[in-house]
Amino acid sequence: MPIILDDKKTLTYYEGLLPKSREYVRQYGLEGKKILLFVGRLVALKNLRRVFDAFEKSYCNATFVVVGDGPERVSLETRASTINKEIIFTGRFDGDDLYAWYNLASCLILASYQEAFGAVTNEALLAGCRVIVSERAGSSCLVNDKNGELIDPMNEEKMAAAIDRQLSVANVSNLNSPRCDLMPISFEERISNLVDKIKDKVQ
């Protein structure tokens, strides 16, 4: 049973965060820009050094927004300063301040070496955000060819190509209304399937 949020409640929640998302656009100068988003701890396991290498090699015209903090931040900021593309470190956000980022992201990337699940995948898909997810992440089960793609986290060339492909089909969010969610199955369907399996075991 994947760790997923109730899609109906979450969509209503995201809609209420649209004003905050628009505030971020003004604050960070993101008007009209496609955004590649990372959300999480800045630790080696998240593989951001290789993601930066892939972003540098990609042909995409996008801004990379890194939401989070951790022991790798200083070294990652140093690496980012050598890349001739816009990379913004926002620091850590929680609650509404965090979830508002999903509304305006074009694509989320989760390229961890290892990830038990990766709730950010579900959170992004519910906001209508495409995803690029490590094949080693548990949340890879939520990804299909309609909402994103899976990547080998060790292969930066293929990662760069994935970034280009996903951003080429992603749109800049207009933030006037919530986007349609991109989850392959609803929360109710997951629960129903789980109940059916439990009933089968009991019988």
From 132, 111, 135, select the one nearest 43 (Cα to Cα). 111
What CA–CA distance (Å, rounded) separates 195 from 139?
21
Each residue's pLDDT tens digit, 17-43: 999 999 999 999 999 999 999 999 999
Q: What is the DSSP string of 134-193?
A: ETTBGGGGG--TTTEEEE-TT-HHHHHHHHHHHHHH------SSPPPP--SS-HHHHHHH
What CA–CA distance (Å, rounded) separates 8 from 126?
9
Percent of the chain with pLDDT over 70: 93
Specify whether the CB–CB gap between 56 and 136 falls below 8 A.
Answer: no
Helix, strand, coil percentages (3-state) for the chain, rounded to 5, are: 45, 15, 35
Each residue's pLDDT tens digit, 136-149: 999 999 999 999 99
Predicted TM-score (pTM) of this structure: 0.92
| DSSP-derived secondary structure letter, 88 | E
Q: Residue ranges per domain, the chain?
A: 7-202
Each residue's pLDDT tens digit, 92-111: 999 999 999 999 999 999 99
The fourth-level CATH superfamily of domain 7-202 is: Glycogen Phosphorylase B; (3.40.50.2000)
Phi, psi of 46, rounded to the nearest 5 degrees = -75, -10
Confidence band for 196, pLDDT divided at 50, 70 and 90: low
Query: Which tokens sit at 183?
Result: 């989850």
